């Protein structure tokens, strides 16, 4: 099975702002879709996060998008919409010290994001799919399929509007 993981285009949000579940639009969804369409096999089902910045790209890729809440970005709770510089540094340090387990006030942990992302992955049929989502979900999925430790997969970087293609056999990515 081929999985095409696609990160949403650059969100329309101020620099340095925490925007996990903040539902914002994105720049140039149609232009990004036009550059990605040739990379997807014709008729590939497109799944999307319900957040606008992902959905706008998914809908530009396909008229038949399957929206799945499990593909939403991490919920940063009280941090949402705030500048990273304005968030309590002790809380940020606590998060850095326990990447999987720390939960921002009113939000969710990376472990919770990972559980729902893997629940989504387990529900996939054995056919090619395109998944338009967020960096956090992409990290969790790539980390799982490549068998990476959390210290590695939590640091993976994905470009806005970028695509990562994985060949998955028996739940594991082929090299």
Residue located via tokens 């970028």: 162
pTM of the model: 0.95
- The per-residue pLDDT for range 94-141, each reduced to its tens digit, is 999 999 999 999 999 999 999 999 999 999 987 899 999 999 999 999
pLDDT at 41 over 70: yes
Copy the structure tokens of residue 148: 């990476």
- Across the range 42-56, mean pLDDT stands at 97
pLDDT tens-digit map of 72-104: 999 999 999 999 999 999 999 999 999 999 999
Which domains are assigned to the chain? 2-173 (3.40.50.1240)
- The better pLDDT of the pair 14, 172 is held by 14
| Number of Cβ within a 10 Å radius of residue 41 | 9
Task: Please name the residues in contact with 110: beta carbons below 8 A apart, sequence gap of 6 or more.
Answer: 74, 99, 100, 101, 102, 136, 140, 150, 154
pLDDT for 76: 98
pLDDT band with cut points at 50, 70 and 90 for residue 175:
low
CB 29, CB 56: distance < 8 Å: yes
Q: Which element (helix H / strand E) includes 152?
A: helix 150-153
């Amino acid at each position: 099975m081929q999985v095409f993981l696609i990160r949403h285009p650059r969100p329309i949000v101020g620099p340095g702002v925490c925007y996990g579940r903040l539902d914002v639009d994105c720049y140039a969804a149609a232009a990004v879709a036009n550059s990605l369409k040739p990379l997807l096999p014709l008729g590939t089902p497109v799944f999307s996060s319900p957040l606008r910045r992902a959905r706008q790209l998914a809908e530009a890729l396909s008229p038949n998008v399957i929206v799945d809440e499990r593909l939403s970005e991490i919920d940063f709770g009280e941090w949402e919409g705030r500048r990273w510089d304005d968030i309590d540094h002790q809380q940020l340090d606590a998060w850095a010290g326990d990447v999987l387990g720390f939960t921002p006030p009113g939000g969710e942990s990376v472990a919770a994001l990972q559980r729902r992302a893997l629940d989504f992955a387990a529900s996939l049929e054995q056919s090619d799919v395109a998944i338009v989502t967020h960096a956090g979900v992409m990290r969790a999925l790539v980390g799982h399929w490549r068998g990476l430790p959390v210290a590695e997969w939590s640091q993976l970087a994905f470009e806005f509007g970028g695509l990562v293609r994985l060949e998955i056999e028996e739940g594991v990515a082929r090299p």
